[in-house]
């Protein structure tokens, strides 16, 4: 490689570079999954069940088959048969088993796909399709006391059972023991789920909105019984995912069915309502947190019992207790996770899964302890800083939570705060401030990467990563440049294609870490090759066998979030006036894009605190606010000045010292806002969102 060096590279990691595809996106040149300019393209439109549990008794395809443009009506009588064992690491997933039977397991379940020459013709015929149902009793009444409640799957490791809670209670001067509730929430990415699928001989091609083309190709191959080498999935540009595009989505399964039955390329795009009704949501949670502390504020016992909804169709784990096992020292820490099966669309990861609702409960309870003790909540947290994993006893890889709290408090002006509630008024408004500390687990998923040293001195770097709008493409360009030791303009990056090899998805805050690891390994292999410039040299690395090295340490990203709110006591209206987050995310690959990511996460947290709530009609079981008019998401006017910055941090044992910025931005903001609302009003609100009618 030295042959190609002319000037020493300046280093690309740590440079605030705007996203590579930005100009293409804002000028409309880049292609999303629904933008494939294919000859002979046909369009599929979903028909979804309006009933929550039942059976299709009549579906009269003949009634619409002669409508203008209609090419096919696909339902449970003529759909390709799918492999019932296909799923994900949570196990076989009935969510994927579309159009296989007459049974309806939740409102919004696709029951047919109408394929036509145009999208409008497909939609018109879909809305005219006569479908009748025998309605069966449903159960959507989620609560921790549900008779079907059972321990959650323990795929993520055991829950905490440390020490003696009774002894902890006996040693406590104050005890907080409260219930916290969060509603079902919807990912609501701007780009609706879309797929365009076509056959080329025995090869299946698709352009799909997803968070990991290789894992989606693996799931799709298993589902349709295809050789994965013949399944080619691209996700070149994706307009947000937030977790809901992490799996093989209904748009792709149905587009493949459409292409299979019509022999034409078929595009399927969900309507906004269908995105709400038929794609994964964050489950509602019902959590009990008990914290006992001595008179000096030292925690003697922490209990966190979290229940969340699941679907009978597939397992899922909302790991609400993860921060509780990482944040504070106590001689007794007990946690449980309880799954409650209800008849809703199956939940899946959404924006900091587990940690976002879990830390809302935990960090509000910590604030309530500070209130009872009359203590500064920042000081209270510092007094309970653990020297090792509070439950595991393992050393922390790097832990900069105190730095986040201290620097955040300094920038926010926390020292001025009078910790007593309901003392500040500005005209008619009550004002208050609040804080929350947070963590999110760090690690890596297996991935492969290839690098070709071309004969012209450039390098082609290929990895099945996906950029869902986070800037992953731009970050990986910098990683490739620095690990190869060349200027970034000599890197040609290819991502978002399942043909580029095994790679896990953009999720779990582990995308950049996992992909940068694979690129680093490949660059290391290339360094051992003789490169003479006469022929291209390609190397491929796979990190699957290296990830065991991550064991033995507690690895987390951290943050401290500060909020200032005003509350109008006449209307109950809460406005967030200021948000400040300090983050410890390991090495920051691109400060501009990392800041965008955590600011976006904080806005998601604000939205969770004040707005987002999926509401179901108890009689029909159907979500009644399956649109942006009824399901509120923070808009520009709701978003205050946000300050976000990073403390120096470096993750040992992970190439380049990266921890990942994906989800940590979302954790903490909801609790900081709820705590600020208490500080303003003197009233605790333990149910999200903090709606006007609840605050009054
Ligand atoms: Mo993230 S919610 O794991 O896509």
Going by C-alpha positions, the residue among 445, 474, 480, 439 that lies closest to residue 460 is 480
Q: What is the pLDDT of residue 8?
A: 62
Ligand 1 centroid vs 238 CA: distance in angstroms? 14
Banded model confidence at residue 594, pLDDT cuts 50, 70, 90: very high
- pLDDT at residue 7 is higher than 70: no
Banded model confidence at residue 549, pLDDT cuts 50, 70, 90: confident
Site to substitute for ligand 1 among 246, 280, 282, 470, most atoms within 8 A of C-beta? 246
What ligand 1 atom has the least distance to the C-alpha of 508? 3
Ligand 1 centroid vs 348 CA: distance in angstroms? 9
Give the closest residue (by CA) to ligand 1 atom 4. Answer: 243
- pLDDT at residue 43 is higher than 80: yes
What ligand 1 atom has the least distance to the C-alpha of 505? 4
Distance of CA 398 to the CA centre of its chain: 24
- When pLDDT is averaged across residues 580-602 and rounded to a whole number, the result is 97
Task: Return d(Cα 255, Cα 259) in angstroms, integer.
Answer: 6
Site to substitute for ligand 1 among 243, 282, 442, 468, most atoms within 8 A of C-beta? 243
- pLDDT at residue 427 is higher than 80: yes
Which CATH class, in words, describes the domain spanning 396-442+555-696? alpha beta
Ligand 1 centroid vs 154 CA: distance in angstroms? 19
Beta-carbon contacts of 2 under 8 Å, excluding residues fewer than 6 positions away, are none
Which CATH architecture best describes the domain 2-28+444-550? 2-Layer Sandwich (3.30)
Banded model confidence at residue 152, pLDDT cuts 50, 70, 90: very high
What percent of the chain has a predicted confidence (pLDDT) above 90? 96
| Average pLDDT score, the chain | 96
Ligand 1 centroid vs 453 CA: distance in angstroms? 34
Banded model confidence at residue 16, pLDDT cuts 50, 70, 90: very high
Ligand 1 centroid vs 654 CA: distance in angstroms? 21
Ligand 1 centroid vs 642 CA: distance in angstroms? 23
Banded model confidence at residue 184, pLDDT cuts 50, 70, 90: very high
Site to substitute for ligand 1 among 210, 316, 350, 597, most atoms within 8 A of C-beta? 350
Task: Return d(Cα 624, Cα 618) in angstroms, integer.
Answer: 10
Task: Return d(Cα 82, Cα 257) in angstroms, integer.
Answer: 10
What angle is formed at CA 609 by the lines to CA 174 and CA 400, rounded to 5 degrees? 65
What ligand 1 atom has the least distance to the C-alpha of 352? 2
Side-chain-side CA neighbours of residue 471 (13 Å): 22
Banded model confidence at residue 3, pLDDT cuts 50, 70, 90: very low
Q: What is the pLDDT of residue 657?
A: 97
Model pLDDT for residues 513-539, shown as the tens digit of each residue: 999 999 999 999 999 999 999 999 999
Asked whether the domain spanning 396-442+555-696 has the same topology as the one spanning 2-28+444-550, the reply is yes
* Helix residue ranges per DSSP H, 225-280: 250-262, 272-278
What ligand 1 atom has the least distance to the C-alpha of 468? 4
What ligand 1 atom has the least distance to the C-alpha of 351? 2
- pLDDT at residue 4 is higher than 50: no
- Please report, for the chain, the start and end positions of each structural domain, with discontinuous segments joined by +: 2-28+444-550, 396-442+555-696
- When pLDDT is averaged across residues 236-249 and rounded to a whole number, the result is 97
Query: SS in 3 state form for 595-662?
Result: HHHHHHHHHHHHHHHHCCCCCECCCCCCECCCCCCCCCCCCHHHCCEEEEEECCCCCCCCHHHECCCC
* Helix residue ranges per DSSP H, 509-550: 511-527
Model pLDDT for residues 157-170, shown as the tens digit of each residue: 899 999 999 999 99
Ligand 1 centroid vs 211 CA: distance in angstroms? 9
Question: Is residue 276 within 8 Å of residue 184, measured between CB atoms?
Answer: no
Going by C-alpha positions, the residue among 207, 214, 195 that lies closest to residue 252 is 195
What ligand 1 atom has the least distance to the C-alpha of 245? 4
Task: Return d(Cα 446, Cα 436) in angstroms, integer.
Answer: 32
Q: Is the Cα dihedral 477, 482, 488, 493 positive or negative?
A: negative
Model pLDDT for residues 121-151, shown as the tens digit of each residue: 999 999 999 999 999 999 999 999 999 999 9
Query: Is the peptide bond preceding residue 630 cis, with omega within 30 degrees of 0?
Result: no
Q: What is the pLDDT of residue 350?
A: 97
Task: Return d(Cα 661, Cα 586) in angstroms, integer.
Answer: 9
**Which residue is associated with the tokens 């949670």?**
285
**Which residue is associated with the tokens 């947190």?**
289
Model pLDDT for residues 619-635, shown as the tens digit of each residue: 999 999 999 999 999 99
Model pLDDT for residues 197-228, shown as the tens digit of each residue: 999 999 999 999 999 999 999 999 999 999 99
Please state, as a whole number, how many other Cβ atoms lie within 10 Å of the Cβ of residue 130: 11
What ligand 1 atom has the least distance to the C-alpha of 353? 2
Tokens of 664: 């940590």
Ligand 1 centroid vs 505 CA: distance in angstroms? 9
Ligand 1 centroid vs 353 CA: distance in angstroms? 7
Pocket of ligand 1 (CB under 6 A): 211, 241-243, 246, 349-351, 353, 507-508
Task: Return d(Cα 585, Cα 565) in angstroms, integer.
Answer: 27
663 given a catalytic annotation: yes
Strands 231-234 vs 203-208: parallel, antiparallel or unpaired: parallel
**Is ipTM > 0.95 here?**
yes
φ/ψ (deg, to 5) at 506: -80, 90
Q: What is the pLDDT of residue 5?
A: 46
- When pLDDT is averaged across residues 288-303 and rounded to a whole number, the result is 98
From the candidates 236, 322, 368, 663, which is the catalytic residue? Answer: 663
What SS3 state is found at 546? helix
Ligand 1 centroid vs 91 CA: distance in angstroms? 18
Strands 459-463 vs 429-441: parallel, antiparallel or unpaired: unpaired
* Helix residue ranges per DSSP H, 331-394: 355-373, 377-383
* Helix residue ranges per DSSP H, 1-134: 22-26, 62-65, 119-128
Site to substitute for ligand 1 among 187, 240, 249, 351, most atoms within 8 A of C-beta? 351
What ligand 1 atom has the least distance to the C-alpha of 350? 2
């Amino acid at each position: 490689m030295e042959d190609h060096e002319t000037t020493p590279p300046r280093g690309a990691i740590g440079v605030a570079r705007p996203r590579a595809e930005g100009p293409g996106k804002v000028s409309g040149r880049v292609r999303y999954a629904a933008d494939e300019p294919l000859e002979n393209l046909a369009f599929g439109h979903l028909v979804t069940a309006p009933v929550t549990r039942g059976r299709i008794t009549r579906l009269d395809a003949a009634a619409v088959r002669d409508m203008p443009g209609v090419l096919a009506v696909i339902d449970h009588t003529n759909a390709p048969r799918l492999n019932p064992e296909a799923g994900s690491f949570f196990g076989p997933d009935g969510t994927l088993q579309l159009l296989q039977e007459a049974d309806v397991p939740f409102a919004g379940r696709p029951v047919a796909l109408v394929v036509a020459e145009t999208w409008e013709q497909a939609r018109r015929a879909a809305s005219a399709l006569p479908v009748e149902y025998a309605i069966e009793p449903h159960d959507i009444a989620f609560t921790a006391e549900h008779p079907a409640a059972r321990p959650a799957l323990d795929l993520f490791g055991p829950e905490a059972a440390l020490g003696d809670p009774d002894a902890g209670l006996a040693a406590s001067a104050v005890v907080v023991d409260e219930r916290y509730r969060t509603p079902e929430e919807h990912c609501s990415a701007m780009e609706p789920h879309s797929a365009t699928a076509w056959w080329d001989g025995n090869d299946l091609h698709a352009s799909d909105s997803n968070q990991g083309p290789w894992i989606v190709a693996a799931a799709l191959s298993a589902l349709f019984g295809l050789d994965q080498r013949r399944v080619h999935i691209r996700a070149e540009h994706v307009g947000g995912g937030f977790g809901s595009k992490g799996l093989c989505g209904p748009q792709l399964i149905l587009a493949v069915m459409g292409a299979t039955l019509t022999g034409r390329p078929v595009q399927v795009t969900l309507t906004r309502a269908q995105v709400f009704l038929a794609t994964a949501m964050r489950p509602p949670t019902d959590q009990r947190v008990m914290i006992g502390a001595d008179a000096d504020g030292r925690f003697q016992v922490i209990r966190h019992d979290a229940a969340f909804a699941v679907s009978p169709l597939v397992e899922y784990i909302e790991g609400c207790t993860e921060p509780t096992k990482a944040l504070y020292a106590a001689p007794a820490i007990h946690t449980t996770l309880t799954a409650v099966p209800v008849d809703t669309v199956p939940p899946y990861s959404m924006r900091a899964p587990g940690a976002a609702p879990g830390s809302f409960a935990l960090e509000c309870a910590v604030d309530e302890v500070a209130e009872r003790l009359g203590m500064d909540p920042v000081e209270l947290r510092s007094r309970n800083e653990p020297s090792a994993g509070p439950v595991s006893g393992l050393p922390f890889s790097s832990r900069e939570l105190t730095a986040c709290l201290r620097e955040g408090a300094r920038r926010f002006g926390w020292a001025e705060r009078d910790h007593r509630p309901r003392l500040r008024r500005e005209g008619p408004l009550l004002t208050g401030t609040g804080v929350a500390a947070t963590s999110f687990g760090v690690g890596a998923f297996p991935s492969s990467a290839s690098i070709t040293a071309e004969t012209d001195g450039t390098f082609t770097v290929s990895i099945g990563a996906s950029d869902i709008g986070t800037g992953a493409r731009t970050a990986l360009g910098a990683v490739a440049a620095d690990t190869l030791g060349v200027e970034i303009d000599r890197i040609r990056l290819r991502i978002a294609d399942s043909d580029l090899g095994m790679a896990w998805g953009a999720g779990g805050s582990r995308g950049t870490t996992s992909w940068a690891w694979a690129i680093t390994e490949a660059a290391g292999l290339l360094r051992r090759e003789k490169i003479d410039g006469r022929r291209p040299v390609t190397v491929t690395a796979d990190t699957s066998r290296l990830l065991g090295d991550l064991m033995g340490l507690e690895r987390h990203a951290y943050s401290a979030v500060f909020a200032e709110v005003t509350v109008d006591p006449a209307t109950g209206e809460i406005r967030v006036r200021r948000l400040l987050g300090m983050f410890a995310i390991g090495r920051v690959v691109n400060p501009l894009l990392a800041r965008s990511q955590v600011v976006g996460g904080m806005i998601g947290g604000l939205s969770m605190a004040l707005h987002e709530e999926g509401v179901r009609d108890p009689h029909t079981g159907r979500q009644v606010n399956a649109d942006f008019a009824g399901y509120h998401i923070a808009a520009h006017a709701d978003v205050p000045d946000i300050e976000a910055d990073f403390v120096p941090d470096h993750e040992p044992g992970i190439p380049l010292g990266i921890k990942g910025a994906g989800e940590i931005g979302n954790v903490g903001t909801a609790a900081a806002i709820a705590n600020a609302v208490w500080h303003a009003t003197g009233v605790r609100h333990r149910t999200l969102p903090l709606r006007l009618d609840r605050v009054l």
